[in-house]
Structure 1
């Protein structure tokens, strides 16, 4: 194997970057561009590992305040355990950086993140809900868990109504207190994508995106766990025709057992890791799987 070069991604690298991401099915659900890789370049850092002029790995970071969220670290199988991933991670997250990531159960990845200064905090549960299966829990399946207030939707489809930037800023302020840092630029970018809606419920907020008949909700948060649940309920209730709803919930969130009682199911899980467990308010915050 030739020398590994680790550097910032450039425009010409993006086809190779997406080829690596697609190998790990990371772009499933992102059928159109721009996607989260573009967000990482615009609002954080996108790093590539190159061997013999081939992109063989990538690392993507999004920032909110002082926190760096490591959204992606992928190395093609034939280059794993060769130091490529370690080089990308060290470049993307310099030592001492307050950091958060969602790790798979791969022991090599867990060890790499631990050596970088992060520690396991709790499981991150990826829940799914089928609206057709809703029972007495209410039409959203979360009404009993978090309240039934229906929020003011701000549509991101074709950017038509997101011109009301004050609502995104309002959500951004709530998000900063729940997620640990300000990222209104990233949230404004996300709100402007086709299929994205923003739901505000007083002291709660939820972003939601429809893709191919499914609804992905996140980030979601609020001043209290109940505010977080009410915002999730509003987002789901505003999309009655979807086939499946998806949301990521920290294992310590008070909403989790109530969602399971309401018919939501655990589809998958990661390990939420952080350099400091106090960086996030995990009792009132549900992250976006790709944006944190």
Structure 2
């Protein structure tokens, strides 16, 4: 019988972990910079699963306050259904915590997360569009009467940034903590400092964006005091990067922005299921997560 071991990933485990990630093409957009695996080690936990001396899978989480976001659980195909995934999950998820994940359509994964106390809440749709289509949608959006919630409360206020901190991070993090379920100022500061990442703070909303490979724009996290503030932050961030080939954003199925984006020409490229132990922990009507960072 194959011998399996799970442990918190050490430096020596990272080549094997990255090999598993590469098998699933998880690092394609992170080449040449610190990536989400580094973030999980720094701001959460990364667990490696080894079978007969070789890394066969890994799981990673990021923490925001009391909420644990399960970002990754991947096992090489030849070792799936071996039990290694359950062992990884048992170690990487602290007991008694609020949990969130974006589950694929694999029934085995869904069952595993349900056994961990999470329940499906809504689809998480991955949308793409060209900047020109987004700009047209933004223009049409401004001509509509407000319909997505109460008026904006004005700019998000907070302490002045620390020396070397990207402008607006602490203000955005204060709002993000209320929308995403908990504070993650440190990890947002790390993300904002990466090459190609820009933070847009627009009144009562914020949007982080990253240019990937010089051609595409990955948007998220995005949030606002109201659904309209969230939409305004998204459109403002996209409009600030007109030279990219494609814009990518993850939208919860219950967000009021979703039908407007689809009607405006955004295409649905993929879909996960948003799962959590507490349906009220994330404000899904005014928040757009980052696909890897939650």
Structure 2 length normalisation: TM-score?
0.90
SS of equivalent to 1:112: helix
Paired position in structure 1 for 2:220: 218
How many residues are treated as equivalent by the alignment? 279
Deviation string 1:177-201 (CA, Å, 9 cap, x unpaired) is 1101000000000001000000001
* Structural mapping, 1:215-254, within 5 Å: 215-254=217-256
Paired position in structure 2 for 1:90: 90
Name the CA distance, whole Å, in 1 between partners of 2:218 and 2:33. 17
Give the gaps of 5 or more residues in structure 1.
Answer: 153-161
SS of equivalent to 1:137: helix
Name the CA distance, whole Å, in 1 between partners of 2:112 and 2:141. 37
SS of equivalent to 1:57: strand
SS of equivalent to 1:74: strand
SS of equivalent to 1:239: coil
Name the CA distance, whole Å, in 2 between partners of 1:291 and 1:134. 24
| Deviation (angstroms), 1:133 | 4.1
| Deviation (angstroms), 1:51 | 1.2
Paired position in structure 1 for 2:257: 255
Paired position in structure 1 for 2:179: 178
Give the gaps of 5 or more residues in structure 2.
Answer: 147-154, 156-162
Paired position in structure 2 for 1:155: none
* Structural mapping, 1:41-190, within 5 Å: 41-133=41-133, 136-138=136-138, 163-165=164-166, 167-190=168-191
Paired position in structure 2 for 1:2: 2
- Asked whether the 8 Å contact 2:133–2:264 carries over to 1, the reply is no
| Deviation (angstroms), 1:265 | 1.2
1:282 and 2:281 equivalent?
A: no
* Aligned CA distance change for structure 1 residues 146 and 122 (closer, same or farther; 3 Å): farther
Name the CA distance, whole Å, in 1 between partners of 2:145 and 2:181. 22
Name the CA distance, whole Å, in 2 between partners of 1:119 and 1:171. 29
- Asked whether the 8 Å contact 1:61–1:72 carries over to 2, the reply is yes
Paired position in structure 1 for 2:205: 204
Name the CA distance, whole Å, in 2 between partners of 1:221 and 1:211. 21
Structure 1 length normalisation: TM-score?
0.91
Deviation string 1:200-228 (CA, Å, 9 cap, x unpaired) is 01110000000120000000001110110
SS of equivalent to 1:253: coil
| Deviation (angstroms), 1:145 | 8.0
Name the CA distance, whole Å, in 2 between partners of 1:135 and 1:205. 18
Name the CA distance, whole Å, in 2 between partners of 1:238 and 1:172. 21
Paired position in structure 1 for 2:30: 30
| Deviation (angstroms), 1:138 | 4.3
The RMSD of aligned alpha carbons is 2.1
| Deviation (angstroms), 1:94 | 3.1
SS of equivalent to 1:288: coil
